[in-house]
Amino acid sequence: MHYAIANADIDTITRLLKQNVDINAYDANYTTPLHQAVYYGHIAIVQLLIDKEAAINKQILYNNYSSIRGFTPLHIAIWKRDIAMVALLLAKGADPTITTEEQTCGCCDTPLHRAAAIGQLDIVKLLIERGADINRENKNGYTPLHKAVQAGNLLIAQLFIARGANVNIRRQDPCCQTPLTIAAGKGDRIMVQLLLDNGAAINVMDWDYSRPLSAAACSGHLSIVQLLIEKGADVNLGCRDEATPLYRAVQYSHSEEVIQFLIEKGATINEYLLHVAAERGHLKIVKCLLKQHCPINKTNQDGYTPLHIAAQCGHASIVTYLLNKGAD
């Protein structure tokens, strides 16, 4: 049956059906004939199989391709971006709420999560019309809105918000960020503005210990940092480990502009920031911090100065610069 479907051999398929072959039998890849027909886009064969009572919500099991484990025919149609097939399956009773297996992506996505992630607006609309829950969380606490924001799919994010998506949803899960933190970390200014305009909490801390401003500063996105501070983000609000946006910027962003802007907006200069910059090997950041009177000979809890750390890490240019500036 699977071979006949792959070759769109209607005559053979019809003959096999008359012989009462198992219409829901798995092949070696643990896909059913209906999965196969949907994959190849054979809409007439799909219609025939459904009319013969093929199980429309059966899931792929233990496939060698882990990315499709747990897929129903509907998941496959979405994956293939086949809107006509999606419409047919939904009209015939495909369940838009079934999740994939955990092995697929570690998160158990619904069809709506998948459609949002790949930017299929028309498919998203169909799924919502058929009862898909726009606030349904996957295992990691991500909703379809998270997926749309993550992929930068603005029109889909706008649709979800217009239909009542919760812009501040977050679960107590180490993997879960708010949509605003995701957009800020990606540097997606238009998405950030959309979320802020629709009530996104600007100073919220996620369960991965980050905040929107810290995410933007960490990634070096100056325009997002500027926008968030303009809209009321607290420049000195730390994360659960007490690291401030300025600390994160020095630690990860390599952006002198972001660091300088945060300082201009009142960011407190942690006395150990120079240690961090010296360890990371960022000479421009070291220079910037010294201009702001960051202590050059401060020892950390291990008794090391920035000079010690730069030398240990092999950052010769920083060692030379610190010595020239009077480091002991």
Would you say residue 162 lies in a domain?
yes
Least confident window among 135-144, 233-242, 307-316: 233-242
Q: Single out the residue in 120, 146, 166 at which a domain terminates.
A: 166
How many helical (H) and strand (E) elements, i.e. helices and strands, does the chain have? 21, 0
Collapsing DSSP to helix, strand or coil, 59 comes out as coil
Instruction: Give the model's pLDDT for residue 103.
Output: 45
Helices (H), 138-282: 144-151, 154-162, 179-186, 189-197, 212-219, 222-230, 245-248, 256-264, 273-280
- pLDDT of 157 over the 90 cut: yes
Would you say residue 200 lies in a domain?
no
Segment 215-225, tens digit of pLDDT: 999 999 999 99
How many domains is the chain built from? 2
Distance of CA 185 to the CA centre of its chain: 10
**Choice between 68 and 287, residue whose per-residue pLDDT is larger:** 287
Looking up residue 295, the CATH number of its domain turns out to be 1.25.40.20
Say how many C-beta atoms besides its own lie within 10 A of residue 171's C-beta: 14
* Shared-domain flag, residues 44 and 162: yes
Would you say residue 213 lies in a domain?
no
Question: Is the CB of residue 147 less than 8 Å from the CB of residue 135?
Answer: no
* Shared-domain flag, residues 274 and 162: no
* Shared-domain flag, residues 15 and 157: yes
Would you say residue 227 lies in a domain?
no
Alpha carbons within 13 angstroms on the beta-carbon side of residue 298 total: 15
CA 94 to CA 114: how far, in whole Å?
A: 15
Of the pLDDT bands very low, low, confident and very high (cuts 50, 70, 90), residue 210 is: confident
* Shared-domain flag, residues 3 and 124: yes
Instruction: Give the model's pLDDT for residue 239.
Output: 78
Segment 74-113, tens digit of pLDDT: 999 999 999 999 999 999 999 999 988 654 454 689 999 9
- pLDDT (average), residues 207-222: 89
Residue 322 φ then ψ, to 5°:
-65, -40
Segment 131-155, tens digit of pLDDT: 999 999 988 889 999 999 999 999 9
* Shared-domain flag, residues 148 and 283: no
- pLDDT of 176 over the 80 cut: no
Would you say residue 234 lies in a domain?
no
Would you say residue 110 lies in a domain?
yes
Instruction: Give the model's pLDDT for residue 68.
Output: 74
* Shared-domain flag, residues 9 and 138: yes
Q: Single out the residue in 166, 184, 212 at which a domain terminates.
A: 166
* Shared-domain flag, residues 28 and 154: yes
* Shared-domain flag, residues 158 and 273: no
* Shared-domain flag, residues 40 and 152: yes
Question: Is the CB of residue 54 less than 8 Å from the CB of residue 88?
Answer: no
Instruction: Give the model's pLDDT for residue 67.
Output: 61
Would you say residue 258 lies in a domain?
no
**Residue 92: which of 131, 142, 54 has the closest Cα?**
54
Residues spanned by the domain of 100? 1-166
Tokens in use for 269? 């200069």
Of the pLDDT bands very low, low, confident and very high (cuts 50, 70, 90), residue 124 is: very high
- pLDDT (average), residues 146-171: 95
Of the pLDDT bands very low, low, confident and very high (cuts 50, 70, 90), residue 62 is: low
Q: Single out the residue in 166, 185, 210 at which a domain terminates.
A: 166
**Choice between 253 and 133, residue whose per-residue pLDDT is larger:** 133
Question: Is the CB of residue 289 less than 8 Å from the CB of residue 249?
Answer: no
CA 302 to CA 232: how far, in whole Å?
A: 37
* Shared-domain flag, residues 155 and 274: no
Instruction: Give the model's pLDDT for residue 141.
Output: 84
- pLDDT of 245 over the 80 cut: yes
CA 82 to CA 216: how far, in whole Å?
A: 36
* Shared-domain flag, residues 276 and 161: no
Instruction: Give the model's pLDDT for residue 65.
Output: 53
Would you say residue 91 lies in a domain?
yes
Residue 240 φ then ψ, to 5°:
-60, -30
- pLDDT (average), residues 149-178: 89
* Shared-domain flag, residues 292 and 144: no
Segment 188-197, tens digit of pLDDT: 999 999 999 9
